[in-house]
């Protein structure tokens, strides 16, 4: 269970659902191991044939807990800032805390916010977080056209004009829409269908109109529910196919952890690259280290993550997802 990818089980029913919560699995195995150790101690002097079995099971449980912790530690429990750039990132966040301020150079950097708002987070709240983070790109699964346009109006009034792109597929009450906002400072963008789409819930792919700048994607694959596992796998295949693009930045609720995604090919994961890949973005009812890290920012080509984090301060905003933010820079 700690390494389902070795046997190709990470996208199979049951394994896919369990491995999403490595933090909870580590805690559960640790509790089982400690209970086994306590039972082993209580059985001293009697039930001699049972004690070796109890000891063996306790040891296996503790080893499993340790394996999950090691994997999570490798992905990072940190705040999301690279140690060598923490001071610079802190300075940038201080500047971006002023409404309308943008701490990034649009020629060489992007500040991206991705947030599945469940279409319950208000436009004012989304805009507040985006402006406080100095965001130049917002990818917003489960966000209606009216909400996205309201967010753009608030940001425009604060000195950060945004282009608005939305995608709907059928009745928005049945199939959640997707929205993406792009700062006018990044140049003109236009939606393209050349690179395909997710199968049921819509995603958005936009190219720079003049060909200068990265392809931007707001992605929203299906979740791995037992009845739609095939659709989920197909959507993840589409996401991974985008990693062949030479200059791309993608944000969204991928309904998948790094375990589910497997080898990323030409993509890098911003949270993992910045040392915060173990922070869970869903659900908000669980602490970040016990939740599932299913909201991502991926990038290809010369882009690297200077900083990235999960914003747990927004847990009361109304969505069951936490926002993920990342500062991406062109590799020097």
Q: What is the pLDDT of residues 93-113, one digit of tens each?
A: 433 333 333 445 666 899 999
**pLDDT of 8:** 78
Looking at per-residue confidence, does 90 or 149 come out higher?
149
Confidence of residue 5 (pLDDT cuts 50, 70, 90): low
Between CA 222 and CA 102 the distance in angstroms is 33
Residues 51-83 have pLDDT tens digits of: 889 999 999 999 999 999 999 999 999 764 444
8 A C-beta contact, residue 36 and residue 58: yes
- pLDDT at residue 3 above 70? no
What is the rounded average pLDDT of the residues 21-44? Answer: 93
Note the residue count of the chain.
Answer: 332
Confidence of residue 173 (pLDDT cuts 50, 70, 90): confident
- pLDDT at residue 222 above 80? yes
Give strand pairing partners of 112.
Answer: 137, 326
**pLDDT of 85:** 41
**pLDDT of 72:** 95
HSE-CB for 104 with a 13 A CA cutoff: 26
Between CA 234 and CA 239 the distance in angstroms is 9
H/E/C letters for each residue in the chain? CCCHHHHCCCCCCCHHHHHCCHHHHHHHHHHHHHHHHHHHHHCCCCCCCHHHHHHHHHHHHHHHHHHHHHHHHHHCCCCCECHHHHHHHHHHHHHHCCCCCCCCCCCCEEEEEECCCCCCCCHHHHHHHHHHCCCCEEEEECCCHHHHHHHHHHHHHCCCCEEEEEECCCCCCCCCCEEEEEEHHHCCEEECCCCCCCCCCCCEEEEECCCCCCEEEEECCCCCCHHHHHHHHHHHHHHHHHHHCCCEEEEEECCCCHHHHCCCCCCEEHHHHCCCCCCCCECCCCCCCCCECCEEEEECCCEEEEEEEECHHHCCCCCCCCCEEEEEEECC
Tokens at residue 90, please? 């802190």
Give strand pairing partners of 164.
Answer: 181
Confidence of residue 331 (pLDDT cuts 50, 70, 90): confident
Tokens at residue 314, please? 């927004």
- pLDDT at residue 324 above 70? yes
Question: What percent of the chain is predicted at pLDDT more than 90?
Answer: 81
What is the rounded average pLDDT of the residues 138-146? Answer: 98
What is the rounded average pLDDT of the residues 303-307? Answer: 96
Reading across the β-sheet that carries 137-141, which strands appear in turn?
162-167, 178-183, 137-141, 109-114, 324-330, 303-310
**pLDDT of 2:** 56
In 3D, which of 116, 86, 97, 74 has the Cα closest to residue 277?
A: 74
What is the rounded average pLDDT of the residues 141-149? Answer: 98
Between CA 18 and CA 10 the distance in angstroms is 9
**pLDDT of 1:** 56
- pLDDT at residue 89 above 70? no
Backbone dihedral angles phi then psi of residue 183, each to the nearest 5 degrees: -60, 140
The position carrying tokens 């597929």 is 169
**pLDDT of 88:** 42
- pLDDT at residue 90 above 80? no
Between CA 263 and CA 279 the distance in angstroms is 19
| Cα 116 → chain centroid | 10
Between CA 25 and CA 38 the distance in angstroms is 20
**pLDDT of 176:** 97
If one counts every other C-beta atom within 10 angstroms of the C-beta of residue 237, the result is 12
Question: What percent of the chain is predicted at pLDDT more than 70?
Answer: 89
- Average pLDDT of the chain? 90
**pLDDT of 98:** 38
Looking at per-residue confidence, does 215 or 3 come out higher?
215
Burial (0-12, 13-18, 19+ Cβ within 10 Å), 52: exposed
- pLDDT at residue 195 above 50? yes
**pLDDT of 46:** 74
């Amino acid at each position: 269970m700690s390494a389902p990818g070795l046997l190709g089980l990470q996208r199979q029913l049951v394994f896919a659902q369990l491995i999403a919560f490595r933090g909870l699995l580590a805690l559960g195995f640790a509790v089982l191991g400690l209970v086994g150790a306590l039972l082993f101690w209580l059985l001293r002097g009697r039930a001699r044939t049972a004690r070796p079995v109890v000891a063996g099971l306790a040891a296996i449980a503790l080893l499993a807990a340790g394996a999950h912790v090691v994997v999570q530690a490798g992905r990072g429990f940190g705040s999301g800032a690279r140690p060598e750039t923490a001071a610079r990132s802190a300075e940038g966040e201080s500047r971006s805390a002023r409404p309308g301020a943008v701490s990034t150079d649009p020629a060489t950097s992007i500040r991206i916010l991705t947030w599945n708002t469940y279409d319950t987070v208000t436009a004012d709240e989304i805009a507040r977080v985006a402006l406080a983070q100095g965001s130049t790109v917002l990818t917003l699964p489960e966000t209606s056209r009216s909400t996205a346009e309201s967010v753009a109006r608030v940001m425009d009034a604060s000195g950060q004009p945004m282009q608005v792109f939305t995608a709907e597929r059928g009745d928005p009450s049945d199939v959640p829409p997707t929205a993406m906002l792009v700062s006018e400072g990044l140049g003109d963008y236009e939606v393209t269908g050349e690179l395909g789409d997710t199968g049921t819930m819509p995603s958005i792919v936009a190219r720079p109109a003049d060909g200068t700048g990265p392809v931007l994607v707001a992605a929203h694959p299906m979740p791995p529910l037992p009845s739609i596992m095939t659709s989920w796998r197909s959507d993840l295949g589409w996401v991974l196919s985008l990693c062949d693009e030479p200059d791309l930045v993608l944000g969204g609720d991928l309904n998948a952890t790094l375990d589910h995604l497997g080898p990323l090919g030409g993509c890098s994961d911003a949270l993992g690259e910045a040392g915060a890949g173990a922070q869970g973005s869903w659900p908000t009812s669980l602490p970040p280290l016990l939740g599932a890290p299913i909201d991502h920012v991926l990038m290809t080509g010369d882009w690297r993550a200077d900083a990235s984090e999960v914003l747990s301060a927004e847990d009361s905003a109304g969505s069951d997802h936490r926002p993920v933010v990342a500062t991406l820079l062109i590799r020097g």
